[in-house]
Structure 1
């Protein structure tokens, strides 16, 4: 039965708890002891032994609350019928308090009802005249023990809930930190992919152009190599700019460009000029007027165009031409990047790797839609629609 199971594990009990419960049991015996000498006779050794046998189990009352209460109640009633001088009232109240403090409310009320009935019957039996005055006092003592036990139980449950809530909050905080770190790693990964892939692709295209031009026009080859050098320096500057925000101390030379502003729409002309210099003829068209777009939206559009043109450089093939169109509409901006190259027939479609995933993550962050795919027999299109009238939606 559940009531016979230990309410506490013996291994978890300290010496102080054992000593405290033993002192409580001894106190209950000491309080009841003077009534044994009420008749003025010699020491009633048998009655003392019976009293000790009735109240000694209080030393394990918090381990077996219901069995101890049952034993004390039944044995106290039997001892009282045998000897009226044996009064274990304090022990009974302590046992009731323990049941109320450690067991369910139903079990506590049941124990209080049995104790109330037994004590009132004993009061009526041992009191001559105004027994009801004593009954009121007895009922008050039973109610006090029950109330204190229920209060202790409620307080213990409240403190346990607070501890459990604190543990949950700490666990949730750790999980939120891990999620934030994962999101930051994904953001840095996208930025690094866009920066490194674009600049390296441009540098490869320029280097191949320099090799081809050096045979017929050394001056042109030198000029192209200077462009390669400038592109490499730009890649280093962009990388420093990205990694600069990761510094914990925030200390750096303000002039080294580590914390320079992130790219925006104003730098699209420079981006397209760099792509043209790498050998990809690219047209740029803007429809509508740009309002005050958030810096994050401008960065998303910039990275989207950069990634799409980088894929065209990789997969478009010779003679490819590209076009970039921006359309500003109420509450949104639309971006279309198209080319007439061989990307549709390439073994690995443009953006088929991490670049496409990164573009979609960026666009979806603003409630937008990204579409990419081949155009007819030749060419590739990347189209995006971003909301600009609200913050991030996901």
Structure 2
């Protein structure tokens, strides 16, 4: 029935026909009454498809009925048609249809109302027609409201998907760019010292392997979190591998910053790290954001600065905010800000309602500074509800 509304309307028309047609009317009016009765109720079958046309047909039959001087209870079909116009048409057309019904109310009351009851008849019938029109208009408004809610829900879902994809792209960019940069730097170092210092070359190769394993673990963890699937996949074991990687390589946070700095040092970027405050004060999601910011800033310094560059990382933690500064004294091309890395960092900080700046020093070098606000209520919900703390 839900997929065939015309069947419901056909049942409604049949019910009105049978309820309003009495045997006395047939005996008195004969075939004329039956035809008028059919003309009044039959168009209701199409009241949803063409409400204005159906209303016009029923109003025309009602006019013929008035001219013939036949009073029929089936005139209630006119109220159903008016309701249908209010439900499916604009308020202007509903008002015009109501005016037609009101004209019929006056004519019918003038002809059939008992003596002295004309005004009472007009008031009663007007109230019924107004109720039909208002009810139909209210139904149309309610449907429009529900449709708007559905559109808003769909739009929110699309925005959520777009945001999730953008977040995944940022994660993949940070993971791949950083680890590949470190691996390339280590490979170059191993190549240069393989003859003169084979032990250092072997150590660099070992660090390349460990960096690759770390990259794979980060990628599997990120993909598992974005897929929102924590169950092991029986087909390929992805879920089991992700769980194993999570045990061996915990979600990056402030505790993993020293290891990050060590990898950059091994790759040739002299880096110092200072962390002030208790990392336990901030959620895992915020810690991951700080880690990614430092990772991207140091990766840019490794990729874009001259040899011999020194970098300094300073992180200050409190229960209200996290501030960080990553500076280097190398010669940095101005194009460093034109890629996806700086934009990704800015987006990460914006998710916390914080401030972000990246740019060169007048005397040389480059600085990245950021402040994450942890006090806003919606940010606390974001941090606490983040998928296992991995979707910063």
SS of 2:307's partner is: coil
Scaled by the length of structure 2, the TM-score of the pair is 0.74
**Of the candidates 238, 241, 256, which is equivalent to residue 244 of structure 2?**
256
Is it true that 1:309 corresponds to 2:289 in the alignment?
no
**Of the candidates 332, 335, 349, which is equivalent to residue 321 of structure 2?**
332
The separation in 2 between residues aligned to 1:56 and 1:277, in whole angstroms, is 92
The separation in 2 between residues aligned to 1:16 and 1:391, in whole angstroms, is 52
Unaligned runs of 5+ in 1: 1-11, 37-47, 77-87, 125-131
CA offsets 1:312-345 (integer angstroms, 9 cap, x no match): 10011211111111234672222111111121xx
**Of the candidates 193, 196, 221, which is equivalent to residue 216 of structure 1?**
196
More displaced 10-residue stretch of structure 1: 54-63 or 303-312: 54-63
More displaced 10-residue stretch of structure 1: 255-264 or 270-279: 255-264
More displaced 10-residue stretch of structure 1: 15-24 or 193-202: 15-24
Please tell me whether the aligned partners of residues 349 and 355 of structure 2 are also in contact (alpha carbons under 8 angstroms): yes
Unaligned runs of 5+ in 2: 45-53, 86-93, 233-238, 383-392
Please tell me whether the aligned partners of residues 289 and 328 of structure 1 are also in contact (alpha carbons under 8 angstroms): yes
1:354, CA displacement in angstroms?
0.9
SS of 1:296's partner is: helix
Please tell me whether the aligned partners of residues 21 and 58 of structure 1 are also in contact (alpha carbons under 8 angstroms): no
Residue equivalent to 2:152: 172
CA offsets 1:189-214 (integer angstroms, 9 cap, x no match): 11111111111111111111111111
Aligned pairs for 1:140-155 within 5 A: 150-155=130-135
**Of the candidates 337, 357, 362, which is equivalent to residue 348 of structure 2?**
362
Structure with greater proportional helix content = 2
Is it true that 1:296 corresponds to 2:285 in the alignment?
yes
| Relative contact order higher in (CA < 8 Å, ≥ 6 apart) | 2
Residue equivalent to 2:64: 71
Residue equivalent to 1:389: 375
Aligned CA RMSD, in angstroms, stands at 3.7
Distance 1:147 1:355, change over 3 A: same
Residue equivalent to 2:165: 185
Distance 1:226 1:113, change over 3 A: same
1:350, CA displacement in angstroms?
2.5
1:349, CA displacement in angstroms?
2.6
1:21, CA displacement in angstroms?
7.0
Residue equivalent to 1:207: 187
Please tell me whether the aligned partners of residues 308 and 337 of structure 1 are also in contact (alpha carbons under 8 angstroms): yes
The separation in 2 between residues aligned to 1:69 and 1:89, in whole angstroms, is 9
Scaled by the length of structure 1, the TM-score of the pair is 0.74
**Of the candidates 117, 122, 141, which is equivalent to residue 110 of structure 2?**
117
